[in-house]
Amino acid sequence: MFDLTGKVAIVTGGNGGIGKGIALGLAKQGCDIAIFARNKEKSELARNDIQKLGVKAEIIICDVADRRSVNDAVKKTSKIFGKLDILVNNAGTNIRTEEPQELTTEQWDQVIQTNLSSMHYMSSEVFPYFKSQQSGKVINIGSMTSIFGSPYASAYSASKGGVVQYTKSCALGWAKYNIQVNAILPGYIVTEMTKGFLEQYPEKEKIITDRTAAGRWGFPKDFEGTAVFLSSAASDFVTGTFIPVDGGYSVALN
């Protein structure tokens, strides 16, 4: 039921952090991986780790915030692998300020374009392949801030809130094609992005850990099981939902 042998997954931002964790989890179940990213050297390291699991992995250089780049990359991936089965919209960025109004127009646009518009570009370009085969899985990576806001991450919160609504919209629109669309909402995870957060707000580490029911921060490996479930036949009757993977942070009262 969870076997992904013979499946092909596109993972945007699959060369590090949560994206790489998901890519490795899918690969462990036999899935071939297309790493969509801009940094070739970083992607080569990720590809090597994925290939050690005995699956095919290819680097597809792509700027997911550029519709033309996305179109070209998806066509290239289909040509290389011969099929497309799973799309993981993981690529994202964040720009932090003390208060929302401090974000410049350029900073706001960059976050929204990378986190939300790219999701529409990727999903729209992959959709014809899924429709033609009458099957497909889309996993959108949101955030805890899809549920609640953040004063120092206003554009990020707005984009991630949009991820949930876009997920629901695609799930409703594409169910008739046997395409399931769901979202994962990460909590505080040890990645390069949160390293910058802790450097900017060092006092937050203990506050976050104390609120998290699991008593720790998460790691990219913690997403393997959820991603495999949402990519496999086990979730064929699951669509339009979002699953927090946050150790209980979003349901804590303190």
Q: Tens digit of pLDDT per residue, the chain (254 long)?
A: 999 999 999 999 999 999 999 999 999 999 999 999 999 999 999 999 999 999 999 999 999 999 999 999 999 999 999 999 999 999 999 988 889 899 999 999 999 999 999 999 999 999 999 999 999 999 999 999 999 988 889 999 999 999 999 999 999 999 999 999 999 999 999 987 777 777 777 888 898 899 999 999 999 999 999 999 999 999 999 999 999 999 999 998 65
- 93 and 118 in contact (C-beta within 8 Å)? no
Q: Which three-class secondary structure state does DSSP give residue 38?
A: coil
Going by C-alpha positions, the residue among 116, 108, 97, 90 that lies closest to residue 185 is 90
Cα 115 to the chain's mean position, in Å? 9
Q: Please state, in angstroms and rounded to a whole number, the distance separating the CA atoms of residues 83 and 31.
A: 12
- 186 and 156 in contact (C-beta within 8 Å)? no
pLDDT of residue 253: 61
pLDDT of residue 197: 73
Going from the N-terminus, what domains does the chain have, and what CATH number goes with each? 8-245 (3.40.50.720)
Count of other CB atoms within 10 angstroms of residue 162: 18
| C-alpha distances in Å from residue 25, one per residue of 180, 229, 249 | 19, 10, 23
pLDDT of residue 254: 54
Q: Inter-axis angle of helices 154-174 and 118-133, to 10 degrees?
A: 20
Q: b/e string for 26-54 if b means 16 or more Cβ within 10 A?
A: bbebebbbbbbbeeeebbeebbeebeebe
Phi, psi of 200 (to 5 degrees): -80, -35
Going by C-alpha positions, the residue among 36, 2, 5, 6 that lies closest to residue 19 is 36
Q: Which three-class secondary structure state does DSSP give residue 8?
A: strand
Structure tokens that stand for 71 in this block: 């179109």
Q: What does the mean pLDDT of the chain come to?
A: 95
Catalytic residues: 156
Going by C-alpha positions, the residue among 162, 167, 155 that lies closest to residue 243 is 167
Count of other CB atoms within 10 angstroms of residue 88: 29
pLDDT of residue 98: 84
Query: Amino acid identity of 225?
Result: G
pLDDT of residue 31: 98
